[in-house]
Amino acid sequence: MKRQDILAGFEQTFERAATHTFFAPGRINLIGEHTDYNGGHVFPCAISLGNYAAIGQNERHSFRLYSANFPQDGIIELPLAELNAPKRHLWTDYFQGMARVMAQAGAKFTFGLDIYIHGNLPDGAGLSSSASLEMLVGTILNERYQANFAPLDLVKFGVKVENDYIGVNSGIMDQFAIEMGRANQAMLLDTNTLKYQYLPIKLADNVIVIMNTNKKRQLADSKYNERRHECEEAVARLQRGIDIKHLGELDAPTFDQYTYLLADPTSIKRARHAVLENQRTLRAARALEAGDLATFGRLVSASGVSLAYDYQVTGLELDTLVSNALKQPGVLGARMVGAGFGGCAIAIVAKAQVPDFISKVGAAYAHKIGYAANFYVADIADGTKELA
């Protein structure tokens, strides 16, 4: 998608020229899934697919919002004085939520804006389209109203919108990666302390292929919140014998010693994933930094096995993609990404093998599932920004 396309879309919608354009990426997580709300480490990066916006000031004392991804909704008007109005259960809830949270934190919206948005992230695909929209909105409002919030403030505002307004008990990873991303680098983030470091993604002659099941899932309607509750219950049981606040504080030997406190097969599996996934993430980051791509790939695949069998968040579509990906020559590793229950998986594939990989995995998936998957080669991009 090109900047001139966004400008043309704004002009066609609002019958005048836009003054500014912005972009917020989506994200993939190389490893460290369902660890962000368990106080563990994650290893995400921003990607070149995302949400674009063109904007212009208006004299109506309202936000006028249009999304080319939801043209049936038309232009939706949100008066500046009515930010506390009830949710409309439309895509604009993310905009309204961010505006409300920022206003509560001191932002002053003194004039209206017309905003045209167009994204090329597949909706419900596990690439964080909602967090991308939140960071896009946050950056637009921060810049145009000179609110002077720090990037980490915008990240926390986005999490608050998800948790308190949308109703999804998600962690901080998605907004953090989207706001703070850097081209060709991943972020090793400790979600408990928010300490992080950038590590170059050096994959030699390999690339990351995103595999979209084309099975959408809505986090608020899935078992995502249930998984978080199960982990909180596991922590409560472990606290009878050990002083912890998060599963991410435990290493594997300590967890093994205190597993008896869980006394429930489901609690054991959920907690085991959270603990071992955190350890895998640290090892994977070290392996990538050292150029040990074979170990990195095996750890990525091990993450996928844990997500399927211990955390149980995959399903037929994701399992079909990952199992067939791992059968192909030139594949270092593969696993589902995101919340699961549909959405996307990734595979680390030798660049020369990509066309054959897509052909064979795509054919096997369509034969078993009955409809096609989509494939994209991931370009690792910068975080949210105003476009020059």
List active site positions. Answer: 174
Which residue is associated with the tokens 């990351």?
208
**Residue 195, Cβ density class (10 Å: 0-12 exposed, 13-18 middle, ≥19 buried):** exposed
DSSP letters of 247-306?
GGG--HHHHHHHGGGT-SHHHHHHHHHHHHHHHHHHHHHHHHHTT-HHHHHHHHHHHHHH
* CA-based nearest residue to 295, from 308, 305, 285: 285
User: How many whole angstroms separate alpha carbon 384 and alpha carbon 355?
Assistant: 31
CB burial readout 98-114, b (16+ within 10 A) else e = bbbbbbeeebebeebbb
* CA-based nearest residue to 113, from 130, 131, 136: 136
User: How many whole angstroms separate alpha carbon 323 and alpha carbon 380?
Assistant: 25
Q: Measuring CA to CA, how many Å separate 260 from each of 238, 239, 242, 256?
A: 9, 12, 12, 8
Q: Measuring CA to CA, how many Å separate 314 from each of 131, 162, 179, 280, 371?
A: 21, 22, 27, 19, 18
Which residue is associated with the tokens 């967090």?
131
